[in-house]
Structure 1
């Protein structure tokens, strides 16, 4: 399944059904070495990943630099790469550490900017860090508090860049559904990167966004399918949406795990493959930083998940009846 591809946009940008989320190689939470980052990307290539996602936000540009350097070993036409706009990196004289979750020196500060000029400046800087002359997808990154400006100024700038051929497809990346649904309704975007809102624990993406995306032909890249770790290892203290999971959600995750175990399937495999179950979803994006994580994710996507497992989840009320599962039409 890792090597299978689906496409997004009028340019038919091909995306592997399992994609590489590069926040980790930008030193998310803990630092890794350049060599470890290279090994992760090279292992991903060997395992069939052909879509790689990054952003200036990830390690104040470190993720883009590392990803660009590692991918120079491979033919450009054989992979897709996305980055994001909305946060400009402004140099600063700082001796401290980054305060937004990345183990890097605070050499820059992030400045929100969804103006047309900000979009172009951000993309130009990203291309320089990546060492590329084009990217395949550009997402508006987390415009939660800037939705109107992102629609009125940033989106038209991306539309022009797409028309000029600088980018192949454009979209929005968020961990909520309301603003992306607005973009799908009111613009001509090609893709949505949706984090944590279509998972075994949270199907709020079905309320409006996913059916609308399917109707409009907008591809959804499904990220956060493990809900910050709760579906990776449901145990007291596990995190959900970056905070300690409430007791009710922990109980639900443990019940999901028990059903999976009865069918001989790791919960992680069911969670990963569920993310591709809706017809609008084109790829599952996993955050990885080490070769073993890369291989494990690829193996999860290949693990057989029997239909009776999904049926039991419905019978036990752990999945609503209307929620599509892999291999089944909605």
Structure 2
């Protein structure tokens, strides 16, 4: 895991396995402060050097916790990314909770969409304060699904200026769809795309246009959601796919993936983590972590060799198409096994 991959054409490097910071923002349940700190410590001990967060995650809690946990580490030895597009406005009066947005935190702030140039500057200033760090290595435009034109016309040029000033090292877009990021890759000088859930063993929509375009343009891709919110972690009836109950057909397909993986002595989660590295555009795979055990487990899974025969059988059984690149193929990245 000591290997580093360059993120596209930028000067920023990332570890093959990235720490996803949503969980330590109390995603779907409370995580005690000590547990969050231990999760970051275990990730560091396991060789992870790329950490991702966002103001959205726990209304700033993830940024605060991640910044505090990383502050004592040598700044040159890790890469940190956060996001812009949602400003946090203080709430006056009685405070409820933020569970409607998925986070078990007091709703002391209200999110407000803002992809203006001024909003980008304000967001980054606030993130630096919460993080307590001197710079941000990568800034992603966060989920501009309904704000594409403002993100393209106002937020992106401002991020270009910040990159030129040296305030940020690289700029990108982070989404759970592939079409709009592909437009940004075509029309801008992005360094990176963070693509969640659209390039996994079960869902390869990112392969249609985005990933080939990113490889052609020298844009680095970070893949999140490789377990598709649970189905590829523990395939079973009732498991979730994209945060909703998985259709029976998808459950059956996931069970087939599991059976093939286990025949080759590989846990399905390991195969799911390794799979994206078959594509040359992929620089890192991001996994949400809420405990030390989860950080260690993810690192161990990625360090576990996956035999070429597993990918061959998946193709023979029609579970992967003949044109889907797999690890070990021409141009594939080294996931850092060993």
TM-score range, shorter chain: over 0.9
Separation (CA, whole Å) in 2 of partners of 1:215 and 1:127? 33
The answer to whether the 8 Å contact 1:7/1:14 transfers is yes
TM-score, reference length from structure 1: 0.98
The answer to whether the 8 Å contact 1:214/1:280 transfers is yes
State which drifts further: 29-38 or 168-177: 29-38
Structure 1 residue 185: Cα displacement: 0.1
Separation (CA, whole Å) in 2 of partners of 1:11 and 1:314? 34
Separation (CA, whole Å) in 1 of partners of 2:112 and 2:69? 27
The answer to whether the 8 Å contact 2:9/2:218 transfers is no
Aligned equivalent of 2:281: 280
1:15-56 CA distance string (max 9 Å, x none): 000000000110000101111111000111100000000000
Separation (CA, whole Å) in 2 of partners of 1:110 and 1:329? 44
Separation (CA, whole Å) in 1 of partners of 2:243 and 2:22? 15
Aligned equivalent of 1:190: 191
Query: 3-state SS of the aligned residue for 1:65?
Result: helix
Structure 1 residue 106: Cα displacement: 0.6
Aligned equivalent of 1:3: 2
Aligned equivalent of 2:324: 323
Separation (CA, whole Å) in 2 of partners of 1:328 and 1:295? 27
1:156-215 CA distance string (max 9 Å, x none): 000000000000000000000000000000000000000011100011111000000000
State which drifts further: 63-72 or 89-98: 89-98
Aligned equivalent of 1:268: 269
Aligned equivalent of 1:215: 216
State which drifts further: 90-99 or 184-193: 90-99
Structure 1 residue 9: Cα displacement: 4.7
Structure 1 residue 3: Cα displacement: 2.2
Aligned equivalent of 1:168: 169
The answer to whether the 8 Å contact 1:20/1:44 transfers is yes
Superposition pairs of residues 109-188 of structure 1, within 5 angstroms = 109-188=110-189
Q: Where does structure 1 differ by over 3 angstroms across 4 or more consecutive aligned residues?
A: none
Structure 1 residue 153: Cα displacement: 0.4
Query: 3-state SS of the aligned residue for 2:183?
Result: helix
Aligned equivalent of 2:334: none
The answer to whether the 8 Å contact 2:9/2:220 transfers is no
Query: 3-state SS of the aligned residue for 1:259?
Result: helix
Structure 1 vs Structure 2 CA RMSD: 0.8
The answer to whether the 8 Å contact 2:20/2:52 transfers is yes
The answer to whether the 8 Å contact 1:221/1:283 transfers is yes
Structure 1 residue 7: Cα displacement: 1.0
1:103-131 CA distance string (max 9 Å, x none): 00010010000000000000000000000
Say whether 1:96 aligns with 2:96: yes
Separation (CA, whole Å) in 1 of partners of 2:296 and 2:133? 27
Structure 1 residue 11: Cα displacement: 4.0
Superposition pairs of residues 42-61 of structure 1, within 5 angstroms = 42-61=41-60
Query: 3-state SS of the aligned residue for 2:104?
Result: coil
Separation (CA, whole Å) in 2 of partners of 1:277 and 1:228? 21
Aligned equivalent of 1:12: 11
1:214-265 CA distance string (max 9 Å, x none): 0000000000000001000011110001100011111100000010111111
Structure 1 residue 10: Cα displacement: 4.4
Separation (CA, whole Å) in 1 of partners of 2:37 and 2:62? 11
Q: How many residues align?
A: 329
Query: 3-state SS of the aligned residue for 1:144?
Result: coil
Aligned equivalent of 2:27: 28
Structure 1 residue 63: Cα displacement: 0.2
